[in-house]
Amino acid sequence: MKERVLITGASGFVGYHLILEALENNFEVFVAIRKTSRIDHLKQLNIQYTYLEFDNLSALKKELEEKQYHYIIHAAGVTRARTAKEYDIINAEYTYNLALAAKSVERTLKKFVFISSLAAIGPLNELNDIITDATVPHPVTAYGRSKLLAEEKLKTITDFNYTILRPTAVYGPRDKDIFIFLKQVSRGIEPYIGKIDQKLSFIYVRDLAKAAVTALFKGDNKAYNLSDGNVYNRYELANITRQVLNVKTIKFHIPVKFVKMIAFISEKISSLRNNAPVLNTEKLNELKAVNWSCDIEPAKHELGFYPIYNLQTGLTEAFNWYQANKWI
């Protein structure tokens, strides 16, 4: 009999790859989606659908009692929101509610894996430092603070088996965030904010998915920072993209003050339209941060996490998908 896993946020970029990895590992896969979610890309997969009321603890308990999941991978959340409160409700309160509901049926649940973010720790200000387990969290955005709050609330649940994964910037097929920059480079435009030196880190989505499924069986009650194990300067993402696509670009640096003005205008327009802006003044704190390098040794030793992809191999595979699916 197959063991049953529930994957939340399943219609999204990371969620899709979590589904594929779970299926490859012979799980019976249930996916939690919203009734408004676009699921055309999921219809050919051997999965079952469910709809969770994250703001209703009783309904969550009833759902988990009925389905008797053995594992949960919680990837649902928002990377864009209108207010800090909205981030906290969706990313933290809903995570806590789901975990509390899962605790109530713990006789069947073996592990709760939470997909957090390295943004919960925040970037470093010195190029020579590295983010480790001992780094004191200092998130620089409401998104990062909401992920940290979710982690803190999760840790308050006693006798509950969880693992927290903190991936750095995730890229790959179906991503729409880093893809914004990649698409510009593919068109010959290579823009940067300011002229500071930066250390950046990335993780290919398939490596993250493998880590999440592995964490169902290892790394109890701990948090792990995840990247591909390498550190990149701010130009390497574009350098590799140019090489993979064989394109030439015009490189230019936009003054930080000008980008702040654009972000401010974007915030105001989005506020009038009652939606979340793609770029806001706070997001710049992450985009122009000095150092996002992180230590993945604990994940290697305790999760057996050895990334297959570096930025070169990951972007090559991703662009094959983008071109095949006419994204570029």
Closest CA to 17 of 99, 95, 80, 75: 75
- Residue 51 CB burial class (10 angstroms; 0-12, 13-18, ≥19): exposed
Helix, strand, coil percent values for the chain (each to nearest 5): 40, 15, 40
Tens of pLDDT, residue by residue over 110-156, are 999 999 999 999 999 999 999 999 999 999 999 999 999 999 999 99
Of all residues in the chain, the percent with pLDDT exceeding 70 is 97
CB contact at 8 A, 19 and 210: no
- Residue 269 CB burial class (10 angstroms; 0-12, 13-18, ≥19): exposed
Residue 92: is its pLDDT beyond 90? yes
Instruction: Write down the pLDDT at residue 106.
Output: 64
The backbone torsions φ and ψ at residue 71, rounded to the nearest 5 degrees and listed phi first, read -145, 155
State whether residue 142 is helix, strand or coil.
helix
Instruction: Write down the pLDDT at residue 271.
Output: 67
Contacts of 231 (CB under 8 A, 6+ apart): 199, 200, 201, 293
Instruction: Write down the pLDDT at residue 255.
Output: 86
If pLDDT is split at 50, 70 and 90, which confidence band does 324 have?
very high
Rounded to two decimals, the pTM is: 0.94
Domain ranges of the chain: 4-175+201-231+290-308
Fold exhibited by the domain 4-175+201-231+290-308? Rossmann fold (3.40.50)
Listed in sequence order, the DSSP H helices in 12-137 are: 13-24, 57-67, 84-87, 94-104
Tens of pLDDT, residue by residue over 210-235, are 999 999 999 889 999 999 999 999 99
Residue 282: is its pLDDT beyond 80? no
